[in-house]
Amino acid sequence: MQYDILLIGGNGFVGRVLAAQLQVAGYSVLIPTNHLAAGRELRMLPKIHLEDVDIHEFDELQSLCARIKPNGAVINLVGVLHDKPAQPYGKVFQAAHVDLPKNIITAMQLHGLKRYLHMSALGADAHGPSMYQRSKGDGEAAVKASNLAWTIFRPSVIFGAQDQFINLFAKLATLFPVMPLANHQAQFQPVSVDDVASAFVKALSMPQTIHQSYDLVGPQVYTMREIVEFATRKAKTSCAIIPVPAFVGHLQALAFEFLPVPTLMSRDNIASMRLPNTLPENGIDALTEIFKMSRRSLEGMQ
């Protein structure tokens, strides 16, 4: 069977919402994944097909592109948050944010596919302060250097019912009566997962979005402290937030990196917070100005 869309990273937080929206819009979607069990809800959708494939194997990536219609599209949502310190970034960021986009581009070219939608991140910059930002910046550069009909999306922190950001702080607030918080003045402009997914779907039928990069942000800027306070209210609990110096946050992150559990916060995450994760001055609010959407607010989660 030939599919309209190859959705790489489609079994993740953003991908599941996007897959559902693509189905409603009438597209057939092929989703490669190493975690079939996690995609139980997606397998119930009639126009969504999940397949057990390692997207980092080029031959498998090429065979996936061969199953996309000539006028179809490839969407890449893959992103990881943590890696071991290295310059300019580690092997995990290299594989996910740089090598994978390059391999997707090559596989698409071999099969004559043109339309490519790429998930980057607000603040992506080859010379940015964090490994995450630098690797995302290099990934963007590879996309822009291709001959594909690309569109790049650069969202701020994405929130939603199953996000890994607000829900993390909500969980911590239920576990600890006091939360030491470094970088409490760091700024974010959280954007709804539904709005991000809608921008991807709309771009597929908007030729004017080709060879454009779009910053995706929500309607309001929050400090880290305000986000944690929101998460505490969401959890319906009380938690005293104690601002601590940056070096304490650095030590906390270092400790988290060595715990035998998934990393909650890394030193690289803290490095990313040196720059506001907000719409740049004189930046275009793409969701309202380009995609003509009314953005959802963080408070709407409650």
How many residues comprise the chain? 302
Give me the pLDDT at residue 302, please. 54
**Which two three-digit tokens encode residue 253?**
């992150």
Q: For residue 289, tell me if it sits in a domain.
A: yes
Residue pointed to by tokens 């760091």: 186
**Exposure string over 244-271, b if 16+ CB within 10 A, otherwise e:** beeeebeebbeebbeeeeeebbbbbbbb
Q: For residue 246, tell me if it sits in a domain.
A: no
Instruction: Print the domain residue range for 74.
Output: 3-158+190-217+277-295
Q: Are 227 and 172 a contacting pair, CB within 8 Å?
A: no
* Burial class of residue 46 in the structure, from the number of CB atoms within 10 Å of its CB (0-12 exposed, 13-18 middle, 19+ buried): exposed
Q: For residue 91, tell me if it sits in a domain.
A: yes
Q: For residue 141, tell me if it sits in a domain.
A: yes
Q: How many domains is the chain built from?
A: 1
The domain spanning residue 66 has which CATH number? Answer: 3.40.50.720
Tell how strand 222-223 and strand 187-188 pair up: antiparallel
Q: Are 125 and 117 a contacting pair, CB within 8 Å?
A: no
Q: For residue 232, tell me if it sits in a domain.
A: no
Residue pointed to by tokens 């310190």: 85
Task: Determine which helix (DSSP H) or strand (DSSP E) holds 119, and give its type and residue range.
Answer: strand 115-119
Count of alpha carbons within 13 Å of 178, Cβ hemisphere only? 4
Cis peptide before 88 (omega within 30 of 0): yes
SS3 assignment, position 203: helix
SS3 assignment, position 277: strand
Q: For residue 249, tell me if it sits in a domain.
A: no
Distance CA 72, CA 64 (A): 12
**Which two three-digit tokens encode residue 155?**
């969202």
Q: Which residue, among 179, 177, 166, 185, has the nearest Cα to 246 in the 3D structure?
A: 185
**Which two three-digit tokens encode residue 160?**
């939603």
Q: For residue 241, tell me if it sits in a domain.
A: no
pLDDT digits (tens, 9 = 90+) for 231-244: 888 888 888 888 88
Sheet holding 3-8, edge to edge: 48-52, 29-33, 3-8, 68-76, 115-119, 149-155, 212-216
Q: For residue 254, tell me if it sits in a domain.
A: no
Output the tens digit of pLDDT for each of the chain's 302 residues. Answer: 899 999 999 999 999 999 999 999 999 999 999 877 666 778 778 899 999 999 999 999 999 999 999 999 999 999 999 899 999 999 999 999 999 999 999 999 999 999 999 999 999 999 999 999 999 999 999 999 999 999 999 999 999 988 888 888 888 888 888 888 888 889 999 999 999 999 999 999 999 999 999 999 999 999 999 998 998 888 888 888 888 887 777 777 777 777 665 666 788 888 898 899 999 998 999 999 999 999 999 887 65
Cβ neighbors of 272 (< 8 A, separation 6 or more) are 123, 128, 129, 130, 132, 133
Whether pTM > 0.95 for this model: the answer is: no
Q: Using the Cα atoms of residue 212, residue 218, residue 221 and residue 225 in order, give the sign of their dihedral.
A: negative
Query: Would you tell me how many other CB atoms lie within 10 Å of the CB of residue 149?
Result: 15
pLDDT digits (tens, 9 = 90+) for 259-287: 665 666 788 888 898 899 999 998 999 99
